[in-house]
């Protein structure tokens, strides 16, 4: 019987590896930027064409490579970071596996120019489909320029899975921000299709945060800085008024590497307990420095997920450090580290963290507190619904003089016969009797259902109804939000907005849907983007469906709004003209009906 197991050819093996490391243009951006940082560059320039599908180029002024190193860099598992197995547990650089360039070269056409300070000439290498097409000396500046062209040119099936240019550019900007945020001492720039998107001068951490997240953060940041023998925590958290409805402005870095950690997010959220609304999220950029031996960064190809040797101690420090910072700035009740024995007596605070000391820590009160059920660190499993926080998403007391007229639906239902008098309870519920008992209607939920069906119908119209603005409104957004809005423009326009890009992250609002209050146009767009980001991870719905749900929720009359008799009657009439009057788009009930026989049973008459 013939043998059937064979070794994969190098070209196929490289493409399989590339499938883990290079999933889209932003993956290559991350790897190339990190390589430039590791090369000790002080200036790094990222050039993008067609959202990276055509070109991703990174130019740095780092130490460059010799001719031999330049060629070896494209071999799988070729790295200067690891000589022996113990090196895996002391890594402080960004890249170390030696897979990035080999993976990029397997799925793109790559050009490399590099030169060391002491060399007269540099090296030029051209690689396609993992095969070196050309290698020769060249004249170039000190440092490295690497260009990735025509991503997935040899893997059409993967190329077809790339999203729109605006969507792919959003991912590129995210990766750029995560690297640039961690190294404020380096000058970064990003140019897309010839237009400058970011120009970040070298400066302090706070300056870099404001450069990236916007000048509105300048007066809303609180410094966090705690140092111990075990670990250091530093960075900034936003004041409570900077909290948002999405997790967008939350950045954690461990040894300058961006990480994703729901566990540490929870630690910060607990530090803000009772200072922000339950459905809001604090903003922060926090850095943790600790011995690399205490973490494992090799658990995922992107290295964004890591494991801590003792995550409960990390949790305790993060929460305590943020609380202390807020207290120092008179934002929260004071937390005095010198008077808190559980923190002060923790061995990791004032002594080397030996095995013996770890055992003592595990038997201490702090450790037991954080391992006990129902304690602060415990994160209960949450539902997979992106809509679970929407019930209380807006609680502002805006006064509406009238309720927007919803479109009539062709599938009219038989309207219940209501009494001519309506009672409004707590400016939230409408109580009315009908022919079989009485109903309790949630006014915001009811209006949300009405608007949802109106916008669904309007989105299929060739000419949506637009409310023209007498004096057009200019709105300037942070770069990630501007990219998101540009991606959503066709769907937003279909809902009745008239918005035009004006360059430099600026847009002109010429018109809005009829339900948007005059003078509230800018705020409606900002809230719409925030809601969409809150909803955007749910893949069950299209972009347009998500937007319709967002705008329906946003424009619905809020709880706490007083309504007249005519307004309540109009609301109920239009609700029962909907195809699905009993629930909101997210599944919350719009009304509860109490039938007469049920009432009789409650009072013992049956």
Q: Are 445 and 576 in contact (CB under 8 A)?
A: no
Q: Are 526 and 475 in contact (CB under 8 A)?
A: yes
The distance in angstroms from the start CA to the end CA of the chain is 82
Question: What was the pLDDT predicted at 84?
Answer: 47
Give the predicted TM-score (pTM) of the model.
Answer: 0.68
Q: Which of 17-31, 198-212, 373-387 has the lowest mean pLDDT?
A: 373-387
Question: What was the pLDDT predicted at 114?
Answer: 95
The residues that bridge with 290 in the sheet, in sequence order, are: 231
Domains present along the chain, CATH in parentheses:
10-203 (3.30.565.10), 212-371 (3.30.230.10), 391-594 (3.30.1370.100)
In the DSSP assignment, the letter for residue 397 is -
Question: What was the pLDDT predicted at 167?
Answer: 85
Mean pLDDT of 71-81: 69
Cα gap 527→119, rounded to integer Å: 55
Pairing of strands 250-254, 257-259: antiparallel
Question: What was the pLDDT predicted at 72?
Answer: 87
Residue entry with tokens 């949506």:
464
pLDDT tens for each residue of 217-239: 888 999 999 998 888 999 999 99
Cα gap 482→529, rounded to integer Å: 10
Q: How confident is the model at residue 514 (pLDDT cuts 50, 70, 90)?
A: confident
Q: Are 184 and 177 in contact (CB under 8 A)?
A: no
Q: Which of 7-11, 143-147, 443-447, 580-584 has the lowest mean pLDDT?
A: 7-11
Mean pLDDT of 241-258: 86
In the DSSP assignment, the letter for residue 463 is S
Pairing of strands 187-192, 43-49: parallel
Residue 414 has pLDDT above 90, yes or no: no
Local structure of 548: helix, strand or coil: helix
Report for 260-264, 366-370, 383-387, 415-419: range of highest mean pLDDT:
260-264
Question: What was the pLDDT predicted at 480?
Answer: 85
User: Which is nearest to 191 in space by CA: 61, 26, 57, 36?
Assistant: 57
Q: How much is the mean pLDDT over the chain?
A: 80
Q: State the burial class of residue 461 (Cβ atoms within 10 Å of its Cβ: 0-12, 13-18, 19+).
A: exposed
Instruction: Provide the Cα torsion 94, 97, 98, 100; round to 10°.
Output: -70
Question: What was the pLDDT predicted at 145?
Answer: 96
Q: How confident is the model at residue 357 (pLDDT cuts 50, 70, 90)?
A: low
Question: What was the pLDDT predicted at 311?
Answer: 81
As given in the structure block, the two tokens for residue 268 are: 């910060």
Question: What was the pLDDT predicted at 436?
Answer: 78
Question: What was the pLDDT predicted at 483?
Answer: 87
Question: What was the pLDDT predicted at 83?
Answer: 44
User: Which is nearest to 556 in space by CA: 451, 457, 399?
Assistant: 451
Question: What was the pLDDT predicted at 543?
Answer: 84
Top pLDDT among 10 and 213 is at 213
Question: What was the pLDDT predicted at 137?
Answer: 95
Handedness of CA 242, 244, 249, 253 (dihedral sign): positive
As given in the structure block, the two tokens for residue 391 are: 């019930």
Local structure of 147: helix, strand or coil: strand
CB hemisphere CA count around 246 (13 angstroms)? 16
How many other C-beta atoms are found inside a 10 Å radius of the C-beta of residue 249? 21
Q: How confident is the model at residue 479 (pLDDT cuts 50, 70, 90)?
A: confident
Local structure of 142: helix, strand or coil: coil
Q: Find the helix packing angle between 100-107 and 10-21, rounded to 10°.
A: 110
Question: What was the pLDDT predicted at 517?
Answer: 80
pLDDT tens for each residue of 266-303: 999 999 988 888 878 899 999 999 887 777 665 445 55
Counted residue by residue, the chain has a size of 606
pLDDT above 70: percentage of residues in the chain:
76
Q: Which of 344-348, 499-503, 540-544 has the lowest mean pLDDT?
A: 344-348
Q: State the burial class of residue 298 (Cβ atoms within 10 Å of its Cβ: 0-12, 13-18, 19+).
A: middle
Cα gap 378→345, rounded to integer Å: 22
pLDDT tens for each residue of 560-577: 999 999 999 999 999 999
Q: Are 60 and 144 in contact (CB under 8 A)?
A: yes
Mean pLDDT of 61-84: 76
Residue entry with tokens 């997979």:
384
Considering just the CA atoms, what is the radius of gyration of the chain in Å? Answer: 29
Question: What was the pLDDT predicted at 60?
Answer: 97
Q: Are 64 and 144 in contact (CB under 8 A)?
A: yes
Q: Which of 495-504, 532-541, 583-592 has the lowest mean pLDDT?
A: 532-541
Report for 102-111, 293-302, 392-401, 410-419: range of highest mean pLDDT:
102-111
Cα gap 110→113, rounded to integer Å: 10
In the DSSP assignment, the letter for residue 120 is S
User: Which is nearest to 430 in space by CA: 564, 302, 520, 319?
Assistant: 564
Question: What was the pLDDT predicted at 1?
Answer: 63
Top pLDDT among 477 and 187 is at 187
Residue 330 has pLDDT above 80, yes or no: no
Question: What was the pLDDT predicted at 513?
Answer: 86
The residues that bridge with 110 in the sheet, in sequence order, are: 127, 148
pLDDT tens for each residue of 515-574: 788 888 888 898 888 888 777 555 667 888 888 998 898 889 988 999 999 999 999 999
Question: What was the pLDDT predicted at 101?
Answer: 87
Q: How confident is the model at residue 372 (pLDDT cuts 50, 70, 90)?
A: low
Question: What was the pLDDT predicted at 306?
Answer: 67
CA-based angle 528:531:536, to the nearest 5? Answer: 115
């Amino acid at each position: 019987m013939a043998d059937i197991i064979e070794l994969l050819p190098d070209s196929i093996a490289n493409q399989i590896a590339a499938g883990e490391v290079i999933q889209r243009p932003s993956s290559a951006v991350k790897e190339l930027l990190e390589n430039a940082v590791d090369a000790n560059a002080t200036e790094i320039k990222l050039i993008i064409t067609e959202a990276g599908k055509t070109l991703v180029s990174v130019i740095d002024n780092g130490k460059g490579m010799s001719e031999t190193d330049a060629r070896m860099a494209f071999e799988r598992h070729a790295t200067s970071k690891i000589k022996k197995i113990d090196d895996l547990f002391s890594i402080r650089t960004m890249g170390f596996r030696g897979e990035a360039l080999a993976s990029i070269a397997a799925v793109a056409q790559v050009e490399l120019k590099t030169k060391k300070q002491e060399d007269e000439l540099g090296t030029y290498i051209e690689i396609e489909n993992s095969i070196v097409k050309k290698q020769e000396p060249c004249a170039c500046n000190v440092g490295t320029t690497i260009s990735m062209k025509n991503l997935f040119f040899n893997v059409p099936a993967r190329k077809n899975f790339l999203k729109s240019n605006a969507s792919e550019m959003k991912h590129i900007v995210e990766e750029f921000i995560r690297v640039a945020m961690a190294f404020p001492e380096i000058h970064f720039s990003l140019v897309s299709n010839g237009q400058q998107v970011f120009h970040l001068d070298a400066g302090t951490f706070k300056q870099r945060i404001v450069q990236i997240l916007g000048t509105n953060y300048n007066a809303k940041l609180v410094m966090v800085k705690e140092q111990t023998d075990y670990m250091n925590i530093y960075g900034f958290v936003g004041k409570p008024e900077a909290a948002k409805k999405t997790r967008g402005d939350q950045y954690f870095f461990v040894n300058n590497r961006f990480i994703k950690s729901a566990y540490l997010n929870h630690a910060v959220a607990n530090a803000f307990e009772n200072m922000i609304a339950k459905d809001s999220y604090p903003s922060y950029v926090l850095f943790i420095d600790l011995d690399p031996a205490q973490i494992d960064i090799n658990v995922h190809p992107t290295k964004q997920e890591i494991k801590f040797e003792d995550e409960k101690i990390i949790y305790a420090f993060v929460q305590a450090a943020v609380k202390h910072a807020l207290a120092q700035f008179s934002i929260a009740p004071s937390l005095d580290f010198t008077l808190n024995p559980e923190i002060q007596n923790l061995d990791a605070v004032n002594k080397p963290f030996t095995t013996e000391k770890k055992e003592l820590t595990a038997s201490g009160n702090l450790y037991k507190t954080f391992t006990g059920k129902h304690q602060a660190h415990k994160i209960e499993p949450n539902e997979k619904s992106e809509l679970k926080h929407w019930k209380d998403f807006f609680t502002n007391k805006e006064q509406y003089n009238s309720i927007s007229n919803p479109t009539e639906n062709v599938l009219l239902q038989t309207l219940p016969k209501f009494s001519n008098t309506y009672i409004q309870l707590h400016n939230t519920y409408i109580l009315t009797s009908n022919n079989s008992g009485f109903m309790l209607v949630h006014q915001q939920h009811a209006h949300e259902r009405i608007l949802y069906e109106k916008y669904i119908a309007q989105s299929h119209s060739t000419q949506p109804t637009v409310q023209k603005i007498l004096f057009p409104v200019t709105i300037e957004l942070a770069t990630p939000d501007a990219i998101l809005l540009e991606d959503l423009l066709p769907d937003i326009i279909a809902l009745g907005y008239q918005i035009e890009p004006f360059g430099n992250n600026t847009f002109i609002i010429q018109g809005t849907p009829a339900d948007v209050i005059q003078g509230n146009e800018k705020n409606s767009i900002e809230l719409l983007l925030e809601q969409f980001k809150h909803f955007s991870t749910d893949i069950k719905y299209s972009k347009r469906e998500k937007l319709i749900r967002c705008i329906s929720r946003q424009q619905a009359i809020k709880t706490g709004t007083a309504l007249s008799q005519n307004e309540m009657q109009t609301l109920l009439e239009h609700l029962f003209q909907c195809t699905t009057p009993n629930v909101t788009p997210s599944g919350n009930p719009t009304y509860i009906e109490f039938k007469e026989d049920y009432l009789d049973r409650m009072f013992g008459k049956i």
